[in-house]
Amino acid sequence: MRVAIVALILMIGVVVLLAFGDTLKSFGVGLNGVQAVLVFLLFSIPISLLLFAFLSHRENDQLKAKEIEEGFRKVKNAVQRK
């Protein structure tokens, strides 16, 4: 599942790069298409990595919370049986 999310984020990043690569040139920044794509890559890669790190930590926290809840449930059921 994580691989699919990362692939989707990277594909969206490529679409954004291609869409806005020539936009900088039209704004008069002075970059040609290749330079603009490289500038966008410079900014999009760290953003994608931060997003991936956030999502993976969030998933890990949810799994830990679920394990703790299941542990409490098992203890509660064991106490009720006695």
pLDDT digit string, tens, across residues 30-78: 666 677 677 777 777 888 888 888 888 888 898 899 999 988 888 888 8
pLDDT for the residue numbered 54: 87
The pTM of the full predicted model, rounded to 2 decimals, is 0.47
Q: What range does the domain containing 50 cover?
A: 2-81
**pLDDT tens digit sequence for 22-40:** 666 665 566 666 776 777 7
**What average pLDDT does this structure show over 13-26?**
68
Domain count, the chain: 1
Report yes or no: 33 and 24 within 8 Å, Cβ to Cβ: no
Identify which has the larger pLDDT, 13 or 33. 13
The Cα–Cα gap between 32 and 12 comes to 22
DSSP alpha helix (H) spans, the chain = 2-20, 23-26, 33-81
The Cα–Cα gap between 8 and 2 comes to 10
